[in-house]
Each structure stands twice: as structure tokens, then as C-alpha cells.
Amino acid sequence: MIRTIAMPADTNPSGDIFGGWLMAQMDLAAGNAAAKRARGRCATVAVDGMVFHRPVMVGDEVSLYADILRVGRSSLNIRVEAWRRSRDGDERFKVTQANFTFVAIDDVGRPRPVP
């Protein structure tokens, strides 16, 4: 869904890529998948099971993959995996994964059916 480069502005005070930045990228990827499937606006309502397996370093290419696991009347459950590749290598490593729950909403923020 998304591919980006981890930059120095994305680091925490220790110089490591901030976990919140990675979670935001995952939310963007899940939100993109949700909006496409629901054909419109969606809101994140939950994130489950996030565990960081490996660090992301400045300059790493981060790829985010999203799979829709379940579609309910107005909700969607989407699994997102984040993978890193160093800028000078070919080997990829899974960094983290999580399940995101979204609700399709109308123009005033009320739940609406997913088509």
C-alpha cells in the first residue's frame, strides 16, 4: 500500500526511528485499504497486537502491506505488515504487524454500511 524512506526527522531523542512514526505509516496504509474497499471515508477505531520485532534505521526503505481480513456491516478489520530494507542491501526484514479496525463513516461522522 505504501513505500517510504525513514528520515532523520522521524527519530526519537535517541536517534532511532520513532515507533509512533511507524504506527502512523501503518495507519495510513490500513486507512487507504479501508477507504478503497468502503468507497469513502473511514475512521480508525482500534489497533491490536502490535509488537516491534526489529528496529528501523534512518535511510531504510519501509514497505507496508495491507490485507482486509473481515468486512462487517460498517466495519473492516485490516492486517498490516511493515518490512524494512536497508538502503544499500537487498535483504528485507519484517519489522512489525498489527490488526487495524476501521468504521466506514458518512459526511457527519456517523457509521454507514460498507457497500
pLDDT tens, residue by residue, 53-105:
999 999 999 999 999 999 999 999 999 999 999 999 999 999 999 999 999 99
Q: pTM above the 0.85 mark?
A: yes
Place of cell 468507497: 39
Residue 37: domain span? 2-104
Per the domain annotation, does 71 fall within a domain?
A: yes
Which residue, among 2, 96, 109, has the nearest Cα to 45 in the 3D structure? 109
Name the domain count of the chain.
Answer: 1
Confidence of residue 8 (pLDDT cuts 50, 70, 90): very high
Q: Is 110 within a domain?
A: no
Q: Please report whether residue 90 resides in a domain.
A: yes
Residue 113 lies in a domain: no
Residue 8 lies in a domain: yes
**Phi, psi for residue 30 in degrees, rounded to 5:** -65, -40
CATH number of domain containing 22: 3.10.129.10
Whether 23 is covered by a domain: the verdict is yes
The candidate with the shortest Cα–Cα distance to 110, out of 64, 58, 74, 77, is 74
Establish if 82 belongs to a structural domain. Answer: yes
DSSP secondary structure letters along 16-36? SBPHHHHHHHHHHHHHHHHHH
Q: What is the pLDDT of residue 100?
A: 98
Give the pLDDT confidence score for residue 106 in this predicted structure: 97
Contact 60, 86 (CB under 8 A): yes
